[in-house]
Amino acid sequence: MRRAVAAVALATVALGACGGGQHEFTGYEVQPAPEVGNVTLPDLADGGEDFVFRASTDGLLLVYFGYMNCPHECPTTMTDAAAVQADLGDQVEVAMVTVDPGRDLAGLADYVGGFTATGHALGTDDPSRLRAAADAFGVTYQVQNDQVAHSTHLYGVDDTGTVVMTWTFPTPLDALRADVKALLG
């Protein structure tokens, strides 16, 4: 996938030099790109099997860190990620990591399944394991007195386990879809 992203970037430069249109990404790249392919969390939608943060071959994994009782950002982002998956097919996977495992673990698989039947519902009651996963992506979160605060980014991870794109909230659905399509080539 990293080669595909590099090829897209080179093609974009070449098209621009020839007067053709080029895709301007709405998301952004973090440098150095976070490597998350060795990070795992239990997938509650798959019986608690460890899930590796890596897309399938030539695919893109969209990862969101949030919580089930989030009033706006989480359901909006998950709806948009699921819509992109539905539009672009099997090359796109969607995963949500709960930052509020104390309240979310029991129902997370159903929650994520409400957005996409093939979604990955990731969570653990091990605070150090959750923190390690969040830190690998650069995610911030805090749960205190039933109040949850968290960063609201959506991450695109390629098949090498590299975060190749980050989108801030709110990213318009059409822009997200166009970015993912361009990343997939």
- pLDDT by residue (tens digit) across 30-51? 999 999 999 999 999 999 999 9
pLDDT at 7 over 50: no
Backbone φ/ψ region at 96: left (φ over 0), alpha (ψ -120 to 50), beta: beta
Q: State the Cα torsion 5-184-35-39 to the nearest 10°.
A: -170
Q: Is 54 in contact with 161 (CB distance < 8 Å)?
A: yes
pLDDT of residue 152: 97
User: Does position 8 have pLDDT exceeding 90, yes or no?
Assistant: no
Separation CA 129–CA 150 (nearest Å): 17
> What does the domain layout of the chain look like in residue ranges?
27-180
Q: Determine the pLDDT at residue 20.
A: 54
Q: Is the pLDDT of residue 100 over 80?
A: yes
> CATH code for 27-180?
3.40.30.10
User: What is the mean pLDDT of the segment spanning 88-112?
Assistant: 97
